[in-house]
Amino acid sequence: PWEETNWENTRIILPDNAPRLWQDLFQEAPRHYESFIPVEEVFAPRPIFFLHGTCPESERGSGILLPVFSLPSEYGVGDLGEAAYQFADFLWHSKQKYWQVLPLNPTLKEKAYSPYSATSGFAGNTLLLSPDLLLAAGLLDEADLASLRVAESPKIDYEAVEIAKNRLFDKVYANFLQQNNRRLEEEYLIFIRQEAYWLEDYALYVVLKRHHHEKPWYEWSPAYRDRQEEALVTFRQAHGEALAREKILQFIFYRQWADLKAYCREREIRIFGDLPIYVNYDSADVWANPQYFSLNEEKQLTSVAGVPPDYFNENGQRWGMPLYRWDVLKRKSVRLVGGPYPQEF
């Protein structure tokens, strides 16, 4: 009979993050188990048991501020790959709840690659794309990754990373087009349709900026600076592949970011961080919608963001981003920032 079974030291080993409080559905009193459940104890009253584990909810929680670009990487800058997942596991095993990040939007060399001087409030920073995940997706090969690897350094050489990754992004684009993956193609078409409200202008801004040797949009030739429709139509027709390249890179960024966020959600880790409430003067958002920003008729700045003098800086700080025209925005009910944030944070 089951009462005479000698279970000796048989145990049910619990995972690190398993609940500590367990309720036997046949008994009223809950039981506390730290790392294992002794089988002999739960089988003592009857030959069957049902345990339901619960974690006491706490309003308090801890976490770590770690920008994605600061994650360890052999490719010169932190990315959305293996190290990000390992950090999520670290938070989970140490029973922390929060991962705070800095803005994930594209940056400029002229602004020291600051995440707070974004060229879009919606697009993702493709420098954060994981080469390892691109390899796993069949978009790069091992030789490509070897060309990206750099010596370990406490500092990020953003310019070198930007040059190296942009060179390989051409191959990523070509390989993406050659893949015969119907489901991926459908996801991409849905993405460009849903994100068209910002993606079209952002891709056009990036390619036009490259066409003008990386000059800011307000120094472009007047037809492009002022978004003359005929000039833009002609440019789109002549640079269709370059525009598609930028859209595909954004699609891949969104997928990598969504996968990482889903992984964190499974471990009940919440990601939060700053949004780029102000975007850079030289940005796709300001170029595409100058009427929403503090610019005059010549599209020159009339007022900029900053902070007044305080304990840290007796002269205050001049950030240089154009302020919003709240009167216009209020009438139009315009969506200011978005990108990967609302659906993923």
Q: 45-92, pLDDT tens digit by residue?
A: 777 777 888 766 667 889 999 999 999 999 999 999 999 999 999 999
- Give yes or no: residues 139 and 38 share one domain: no
| Whether 75 and 224 share a structural domain | yes
Tokens of 58: 């706490």
Same domain, 32 and 172: no
- More reliable by pLDDT, 125 or 328: 125
> Residue 336: which CATH number?
3.20.20.80
Examine the domain organization and report whether 119 and 20 are in the same domain.
no
Contact assessment for residue 25 and residue 52, using Cβ atoms and an 8 Å cutoff? yes
Location of structure tokens 């002269």: 315
The answer to which of 42-46, 255-259, 314-318 has the lowest mean pLDDT is 42-46
Per-residue model confidence (pLDDT) at position 15: 84
Per-residue b/e over 294-304, b at no fewer than 16 CB within 10 Å?
bbeeebebeee
Asked whether residue 142 falls in the same domain as residue 263, the answer is: yes
Between strands 98-101 and 63-65, the pairing is parallel
Q: Nearest CA to 53 among 77, 36, 70, 72?
A: 36
Verify that 158 and 11 share a domain, yes or no: no
Indicate whether this model's pTM tops 0.85.
Answer: no
67 and 46, same domain (yes or no) = no
Residue 1, pLDDT > 70, answer no
Nearest to 283 by CA among 271, 270, 292, 272: 292
Most confident residue range from 24-33, 78-87, 177-186, 323-332: 78-87
Which of 4-18, 255-269, 283-297 is predicted with the least confidence, judged by mean pLDDT? 4-18
- At residue 56, the pLDDT reads 63
- Are residues 69 and 103 in contact, defined by beta-carbon separation less than 8 angstroms? no
Q: Are residues 249 and 158 in the same domain?
A: yes
Give the model's pLDDT for residue 344.
Answer: 39
Residues 6+ apart with CB under 8 A from 336: 121, 277, 324, 329
List, in sequence order, every residue forming a beta bridge with 12; answer none if it has no partner: 37
Same domain, 212 and 339: yes
Domains identified in the chain, total number: 2
- Residues 132 and 96 both lie in one domain: yes
pLDDT of res. 58: 67
pLDDT at res. 120: 96
300 pLDDT higher than 80: yes
What is the three-class DSSP state of 126? helix
Distances in Å between the Cα of 31 and the Cα atoms of 51, 53, 56, 161, 182 are: 9, 9, 13, 54, 51
Full domain range(s) for residue 27? 2-54
**Residue 345 in this model has a pLDDT that exceeds 70:** no
Per-residue pLDDT tens over the stretch 220-244: 999 999 999 999 999 999 999 999 9
| Position 281 pLDDT exceeds 90 | yes
pLDDT for 42: 76
CB 125 within 8 A of CB 106: yes
More confident of the two residues 326 and 19: 326
pLDDT of residue 24: 77
For residues 297-308, give the mean pLDDT. Answer: 94
User: In this structure, are 157 and 135 located in the same domain?
Assistant: yes
Question: Both 49 and 67 in a single domain?
Answer: no
What is the rounded distance in angstroms from the CA atom of residue 18 to the CA atom of residue 16?
Answer: 6
